[in-house]
Amino acid sequence: MNALQIAATGMSAQQTRVDVISNNLANMSTTGYNARRAEFADLFYQQAVRPGSIAASDGTMVPAGVQLGLGVRPTAVSIQPQQGTLVHSQGDLDIAIDGNGYLEVTLPSGGAAYTRDGGLKRSAEGQIVTSDGFPVAPGVTIPEEARSISINPAGEVYAYFNGRAEPEMLGQFTLAGFVNEKGLEAIGSNLFLETGASGAPTVGPPGAEGLGTLRQGYLEESSVDPVREVTELIKAQRGYELNAKVITAADQMLSATVQVR
């Protein structure tokens, strides 16, 4: 009897589903977070009678066969790219990406990471960095004497100074786009790494080549839908309970077989 093992794979799958849902709900307030979805596939099949085989009795072809499945397995936990709601934050270094694309961040190792979290800060040296202190490419530094800054939709950063009518351009943010966003590797802190599955980034100014634009003074909320997640949680719980009942039923059947005299 394979029912015990099959039901065990079902319980494990539903547990994975609950883990993904719990992570989504935990990140309801995370800036720029996109919900994840667990995906599954059936396991191998025991071919008791193969479809299309010839019946030994009269030589006719078997139309369907007897194929016994061996359970389920997780295949992916994929990101569901979706624009979150843009909320007004009034922060002069808060920028939201309206459309496709990621801000490029320079890691301490010198490598590049990517994020949609536009809650930027100013370091002690005046450099524009993420909340974790990672510089945002291409590296913009705000002079100490600047009284305010402005970031236009094209990513150009301007500083205003006392006694000067015209602002000074400090630099321009770029955005990176990917052919397959679901192939990015999440490393935490709202950061992603390029992988072979995501493809190489296409870097350009905001608003070019299908990339979104920037909105200063706004932040992108999480795209998690709490109602949908709670519904999925209930479905996962019911699926787990049903697989547990299969294990109980299989155990009772095996006990009855052992007790036969």
Q: Record the pTM.
A: 0.84
214, 90: one domain: yes
- State the residue range of the domain holding 240: 3-81+224-258
36, 16: one domain: yes
- The pLDDT tens digits along the chain (261 residues) read 788 999 999 999 999 999 999 999 999 999 999 999 999 999 888 887 777 777 766 777 777 778 888 899 999 999 988 899 999 998 899 999 999 999 999 999 999 999 999 999 999 999 999 999 999 988 899 998 998 999 999 999 999 998 888 899 999 999 999 999 999 999 999 999 999 999 999 999 999 888 999 999 999 999 999 999 999 999 999 999 999 999 999 888 888 888 876
Cα gap 146→158, rounded to integer Å: 10
19, 105: one domain: no
91, 185: one domain: yes
125, 191: one domain: yes
Whether the upstream peptide bond of residue 143 has omega within 30° of 0, thus cis, is no
Q: 244-260 burial by CB neighbour count: b if 16+ within 10 A, else e? A: eebbeebeeeeeeeeee
End-to-end CA distance of the chain: 20
The count of structural domains within the chain is 2
126, 210: one domain: yes
Half-sphere exposure of 208 (CA within 13 A, CB side): 11
95, 71: one domain: no
251, 152: one domain: no
- Segments in the chain forming alpha helices (H): 3-26, 226-258
31, 105: one domain: no
21, 107: one domain: no
70, 95: one domain: no
Cα gap 124→192, rounded to integer Å: 26
The two tokens of residue 105 are: 């961040």
Contact 34, 25 (CB under 8 A): no
184, 208: one domain: yes
